[in-house]
Structure 1
Amino acid sequence: MGEENGVIMRSALQLNIKAERRLTFSLALQQAVEILQMPQQELAIWLQNEVEKNPLLEIPEQVGVKEVDDIPHCPSLYEHLCKEMRETFSSHWELKVAEVLIGSLDDRGFLATPLEEIAALFQTKVENIEPILIKIHSFDPPGIGARDLKESLLIQLCRQKEKGSLPYQIVADHFEDLLQGRYTQIKKNIKIAPEELSAAIQKLAKLQLRPAAGFEKSSAPTATADIKAVKIDQEWQIEMVEDEFPLIQIRQDLPSLLPKLAAEEKKSVKHWLISAKWLLRSLSRRSRLLVSLTAHLLKKQSAYLERKGPLQEVGASDLAALLGVHESTIHRALSDKLLEGPWGLISLRSLLSQTAAAEHHKQLLQRLIEQENKCSPLTDEELSQLFHKKGIAIARRTVAKYRKELNVASAVHRKQLHQ
């Protein structure tokens, strides 16, 4: 009887160990997917947090780095706004767009790059960029991110709950007269008393004409590249941009530390060690995959980038077959990644031909609809969310557009058909 109990206990223990390993493996895979999808800046922040959480990870001291005098650091406007950005936005895409918008501000704190150009960089519409810019308008200092002085003053007045007031009306409807000092004309047009105009002008005089005043000049680039490409002797040289990454490693004193630990502590160390090794493997795999992916895209689209030919037909499925990975892995790898080269900064995803990408998305949409619960069909919003889970950023409106092109009815009508 005792022997049977021993066998049962050993079997139960083995099952627990297997279940624990499966869970560890599943969590590690989930982490690898997240690491692959994150753009450079977000990954750098995430790695800093991982070093703080895992006691076996460390950032080695850099050899040859000079010590900086202990002088109080006055943050640049870019640093200040990036801090607010990380507290405001959560999605990879919003963070990347916000970073580009903040990096595009001039010394006054005004947006120096047209929204059309920023939208083109992310291959989206201006109306998808504007909500992010509007959120930046709520950042401090007031008036930041405006496209011109007039918009900056209106933003500042709104922050003071002055929307619709006389000062707001003067800026909104009589801005040129205000700039030229044509106060008599303003008084005549609005039909107000001289003292009312004087009070309004005094209030406007207290607003900031240069929202960025008081901050150090930002040395930030307009955006952060994830990958760089340089052509040397007719060959593309590709490297990951890891300037902002903390150089992490497993603690060098681990071998000497282990013998001093109790049995229970060693179990914890084993858990942290497995986690650290998985993290380092995932980072290495991310770099290898992105370099290989970029190399294939540059080989295919070199003429297009050098303005010698059109964009060639290449889709995520083609790249997946070449690299021996799943198609969803390609989409995650391309997500929010920027490539820097002689042409400037471009979205890596933009090197996929639009027709190939659209065709792939339609095929995937068709499969999702075919597999749905016929009694409770998926709405366009739910389909959009499923695309996002697969690493493909597609808006609800785009899903609706593709669905109509496939001659598929809406969720409401599909449900009626199966009742």
Structure 2
Amino acid sequence: GCSEAEVLRILAVIQGFEPAGVGARDLAECLRLQAERQGIYEGLIAAVIDRHLDEVAAHRIKEIATAEHVEPAAVQMAVDIVRQLNPKPGAAYGTGAPAYITPDVIIRRGEQGYEVEVEESDVPQLHISALYRQSDTFDKATQKYIASRLHAASWLINSIEQRRATIRRVVEEIVRRQPAYFEKGPAFLQPMTMKDVADTIGVHESTVSRAVANKYAELPTGIVALRSFFTLRSTRSETGEDVAAAQAKSAIASLIKGEDPHKPLSDQKLCTLLKAQGIALSRRTVMKYREQLGYDSSVKRKRY
């Protein structure tokens, strides 16, 4: 029930709110509002925002340079600035409460090596009241009922203690098998399956799986999920030794971080370099690991 001019006036007021970019009708307007607020909405930056966001997404730097009659290096600089703007300025204002991870076990370096401590501060200490053990004065039916409840309570307490003991044994076995990981970091994680640990400590594989499900360990370097220590599969090195996927990913990340940004490494080139390190991976596996690490293809990583 009002004019379009009035709606646009109110929209302009809303677009002046914090954070810059709210109230935008599309991505280009969102970025434009932020650039204007920073005083950089001009020249090539304005052209990239207004006319070339699709090309930016596809990393077609040369096409933008041709269209704007400038050098690719100038476009690269403008694109880098535009990418520092926030395409979702409202995302920082979530409604959900933050979820904090409380470690279930703590692994510390002690005098005799690494020590495992099961965290019990959040676990209530259960016990059976002595009152219910003195049921001689009750009738037979009541005594039978109390006896069954006492049995159930004892079973629950024993199960909790057994679970705690199982977690400790699993984590102690992880520590025993992964000395290089704790000394040098995730890149030195050795192949290890739940069955390996289960066979060693004498339990079923499913018991290990349940013991580590949704459990976290506090290390001197931070908190990690216990499941992250296990590998479902392992790649194969040229010497016939197993190589954990985490170790292969670490090697790929290291190669990409050290590449020439003007001549980024293709997936096939990564295969060749990994093979020289004794890690034989298919190009498809390299591509999968690269994507899981969050790296774009070599075409999109190229700098001008």
More helix by share: 1
TM-score normalised per structure 1? 0.35
Higher relative contact order (CA 8 A, sep 6+): 1
- Structure label with greater radius of gyration: 2
TM-score normalised per structure 2? 0.46
